[in-house]
Amino acid sequence: MKRTLLLASAAMGLLCATATPAMAGTTADLLKRLHEKGILSDDEYEQLLKGDSAEAAAPSAPAVTPDASGGGRTVRMTDSGVGFEMGDITLKFSGSVNGFYVHDKGDAPSATSSVIGGVATVGGDSSAIRNGLLPGFLKVDVTTRQGGWDVGAHFGMYPGINSVNYAAGGGANSPGNPRGLQTAGIDFRQTYLTFARPGFGEVKIGRDIGLFASEQILNDITLLSPGTPAGNVAPSNTTLGRIGVGYIYTDFQPQITYTTPNLRGFTASIGIFEPLSSLTGPAESNKEPGFQGKLVYDGKLGGIGTRLWAAGIRQKHNVIAGPDYTGWGWDAGAKVTAGPLTLVGTYYDASGLGTTALNLFDTDGLGNTRDSHGFYLQGLATFGKFSFGGSYGESSLDYANAADALANPTLVDKNSSWVGQVRYGLTSWVTLLSEYVHTKSEAHNGNQASSDAVAAGAILFF
């Protein structure tokens, strides 16, 4: 009897598993026939019939709505990063972690090594375990397609491995604090939305990398390494790389930017930006936004991989106690790849924009603008898992006028650096790097300082 009951239950279960509400009476009919043939006893028949009645009375599961992939609740891995696609929504995590041993040897402090705005180390030897030009980062992208639009929300967190001193100013990138019981800085650089469609282009609203000087830093080999260390005794979130020794830092800025569709390799971007006050000049009360634009060609010329760009920036500064001034600048460059060799050359020119960072030493303090310019040349050759790179670059800053020269004799005239680098691709995620950097800072009055740094470590991208 026990075996008979199991067989009957199995038959009923199979039928129930494939039944629809319209078939609710079919199971009862089967049980009745099994009972009439003597296969089920009276008690067994009553017990199974009650179970069938309760299951038929239970509410049916909601229908599964097909998603855009054509299936049910389909989950697929994304093509890159770490994430998944669920229906028409893609959630992706991507990021990077790095760390380097850096030994920096700078000139001893003296009356002739003082350079205001210099980036070469002054103060003897130092050693640190620190991030390179990039801190770590974790980026989260949520994208989907709605009403014919590709829309997305993007968040980028950039934590460092070194402790920082928020009390010193500068937020997550404040001066370092190499003591116990401290914490690293988390720089939330990216928070922006996008919406785009074929033939229209893309609109970006939020905080992200700027347009002016962005190609210069993104194509710099020291983006993956330390470059010029800066502050190696008490390291902060990042080094300088080639910032201030070849280009001005683009920064991550609040913006509304439109980018055209790709037309035979050409794209153009134009945006309005949060106006930035001077870091070293008089107090400002800015009334107008800043403007930035960029034109890029990415394709092949004569079979050679080619990327060409030009970008510009303009912002009016309203000085509270002094004359208003307008800061502007432009940069242009080229990246060509032929076989294992990649060459990069860039140049920038600016007025009222300063050096190293946007609006640093941009005026004489009275609103009289200083001109600046710079460039870098770079080569990288890759053979299998090994890459060998080198570059030279410099950034120069002029006086605003003769009075500025008299008041600031040790103001930086030129920062320059030589970089030599070796890379080894350990895995598809991990790259090992070693580097030598010679940095020199020169003041207008003849003062100068130089430093030599060696670095070794690794960077991981996923």
pTM greater than the 0.75 cutoff = yes
Average pLDDT rounded to a whole number, residues 260-275: 98
Which H helix or E strand runs over 48? helix 42-57
421 near 435, Cβ under 8 Å?
A: yes
Q: What is the pLDDT of residue 49?
A: 60
Distance between CA atoms of residues 291 and 417, nearest Å = 30
Distance between CA atoms of residues 156 and 191, nearest Å = 7
* 65-76 pLDDT, tens digit each: 344 444 445 566
Average pLDDT rounded to a whole number, residues 234-238: 92
* 182-218 pLDDT, tens digit each: 989 889 999 999 999 999 999 999 999 999 999 999 9
Q: What is the pLDDT of residue 73?
A: 52
* 397-436 pLDDT, tens digit each: 999 999 999 999 999 999 999 999 999 999 999 999 999 9
Q: DSSP letters along 313-375, please?
A: EEEEE-BTTS--EEEEEEEEEEEEEETTEEEEEEEEEEESSBSSSTTBS-B-SSS-B-EEEEE
Residue among 275, 224, 220, 209 nearest 243 (CA): 220
| Mean pLDDT for all residues in the chain | 88
Local structure of residue 354 (DSSP, 8 states): B
pLDDT of 24 > 50? The answer is no
Local structure of residue 13 (DSSP, 8 states): H
Structure tokens of 10? 């199995």
pLDDT of 103 > 50? The answer is yes
pLDDT of 286 > 60? The answer is yes
Q: Are strands 290-301 and 266-273 parallel, antiparallel or unpaired?
A: antiparallel
Per the DSSP assignment, residues forming a β-bridge with 138 are 95, 157
* 144-187 pLDDT, tens digit each: 999 999 999 999 999 999 998 887 777 788 889 999 999 898 89
* 241-256 pLDDT, tens digit each: 999 999 999 999 999 9
Average pLDDT rounded to a whole number, residues 211-227: 98
In 10 A of CB 398, how many CB atoms?
17
Work out the burial of residue 320: count CB atoms within 10 Å of its CB; fewer than 13 is exposed, 13-18 middle, 19 or more buried.
Answer: exposed
370 near 400, Cβ under 8 Å?
A: yes
Average pLDDT rounded to a whole number, residues 93-104: 97
101 phi and psi angles, rounded to 5 deg: -90, 125
Q: What is the pLDDT of residue 294?
A: 98
In 10 A of CB 460, how many CB atoms?
15
Structure tokens of 367? 């609103």
Per the DSSP assignment, residues forming a β-bridge with 77 are 84
How many residues are present in the chain?
Answer: 462
39 band by pLDDT with thresholds 50, 70 and 90: low
Q: What is the pLDDT of residue 74?
A: 59
Domains and CATH numbers, the chain: 2-57 (no CATH), 77-461 (2.40.160.10)
Q: What is the pLDDT of residue 54?
A: 47
281 near 363, Cβ under 8 Å?
A: yes
Q: What is the pLDDT of residue 28?
A: 58
Three-state DSSP state, 417: strand
Give percent above pLDDT 90 in the chain: 75
Q: What is the pLDDT of residue 37?
A: 52
Distance between CA atoms of residues 274 and 136, nearest Å = 26
Q: Are strands 304-317 and 325-338 parallel, antiparallel or unpaired?
A: antiparallel
42 phi and psi angles, rounded to 5 deg: -60, -45
Q: What is the amino acid identity at position 176?
A: G
Q: What is the pLDDT of residue 26?
A: 45
pLDDT of 125 > 80? The answer is yes
* 337-360 pLDDT, tens digit each: 999 999 999 999 999 999 999 999
Average pLDDT rounded to a whole number, residues 102-108: 97
